[in-house]
């Protein structure tokens, strides 16, 4: 059940230019959350009414803590980057669905850019299930983040746009080069990457579960501002679309159309 509450910043650090990691102490939200979900964070500026959706990077149910890793993209996230330990922060969550890991098949975690953070908790969940894990990460260049942490969970393959680290190209290029052709794909990243993974999964007859990145307004499914075309009629809107904030952000690759 989603809740709105005042949480507390435990710590914050800069990972690379423009990317920050924040731990938040919650009142029950972390204990209910799971890999692939997100929270909405409200700014302290009353002129900005809409919260910012940010995916969950790590979940500590025992201590009721959440970790978010986010990129500064505007005034709201710039404000968040200045928060210090002990400050209060208004959040709503946990929101959306998430990843359901099937440990009976090889787990292929694929992420690009700011889609990397939610893969951390998914990797942790997969390892706890005893799954065989391969992780494929896409970055712009060698200025990576969360890479060393993810190496703790399984084999990691890296692709960079400029070729400065790993395979020169996309995550699809890296998967082809490393012959990653079996298992279930669990992915998060920009739409072109997810579209490519959808086609890749179909090519090799793999299942895929894709977490979509999209600008959101309400975050609770009321406004229909964040929708994706679907292969079936939505029972809320009676047209062929899905609401990313509530029906997603994770979808089977077979149920959406890019």
Q: What is the 3-state secondary structure (H, E, C) of the chain?
A: CCEEEEEEEEEEEEEECCEEEEEEECCCHHHHCCCCCEEEEECCCCCCCCCEEEECCEEECCCCEEEEEEECCCHHHHHHHCCCCCCEEEEEEEECCCCCCCCCCCEEEEEEHHHCHHHHHHHHHHHHCCCCEEEEEEECCCCCCCHHHHCCCCEEEEEECCCCCCEECCHHHHHHHCCCCCCEEEEEECHHHHHHHHHHHHHCCCEEEEEECCCCCCCCCCCCCCEEEECCCCCCCCCCEEECCCCCCEEECCCEEC
CATH 3.40.50.80 domain locations along the chain: 107-213
pLDDT of 217 strictly over 60: no
CATH 2.40.30.10 domain locations along the chain: 3-95
State the fold for domain 3-95. Elongation Factor Tu (Ef-tu); domain 3 (2.40.30)
- Average pLDDT over the chain reads 92
Q: Does domain 107-213 have CATH number 3.40.50.970?
A: no
234 confidence band (pLDDT: 50, 70, 90): low
Percentage of the chain lying above the pLDDT 70 cut: 90
């Amino acid at each position: 059940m989603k809740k709105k509450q005042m949480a507390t910043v435990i710590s914050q650090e800069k990972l690379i230019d423009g990317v920050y990691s924040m731990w938040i102490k919650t009142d029950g939200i972390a204990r209910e959350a799971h890999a692939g979900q997100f929270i909405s964070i409200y700014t302290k500026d009353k002129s900005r009414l809409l919260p910012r959706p940010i995916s969950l990077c790590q979940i500590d149910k025992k201590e009721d803590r959440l970790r978010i890793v986010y990129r500064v993209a505007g005034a709201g996230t710039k404000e968040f980057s200045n928060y210090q330990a002990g400050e209060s922060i208004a959040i709503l969550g946990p929101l959306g669905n998430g990843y359901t890991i099937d440990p009976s098949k090889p787990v292929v975690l694929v992420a690009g850019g700011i889609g990397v953070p939610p893969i951390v908790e998914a990797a942790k969940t997969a390892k706890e299930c005893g799954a065989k894990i391969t992780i494929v990460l896409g970055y712009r260049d060698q200025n990576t983040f969360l890479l060393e942490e993810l190496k703790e969970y399984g084999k990691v393959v890296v692709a960079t746009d400029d070729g400065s680290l790993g395979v020169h190209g996309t995550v699809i290029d890296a998967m082809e080069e490393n012959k990653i052709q079996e298992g279930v794909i669990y992915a998060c990243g920009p739409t072109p990457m997810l579209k490519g993974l959808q086609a890749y999964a179909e090519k090799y007859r793999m299942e895929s579960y894709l977490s979509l990145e999209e600008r959101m307004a309400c975050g609770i499914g009321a406004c229909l501002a964040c929708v994706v075309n679907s292969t079936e009629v939505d029972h809320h809107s009676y047209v062929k679309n899905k609401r990313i904030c509530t029906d997603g952000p994770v979808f089977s690759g077979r149920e959406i159309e890019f």
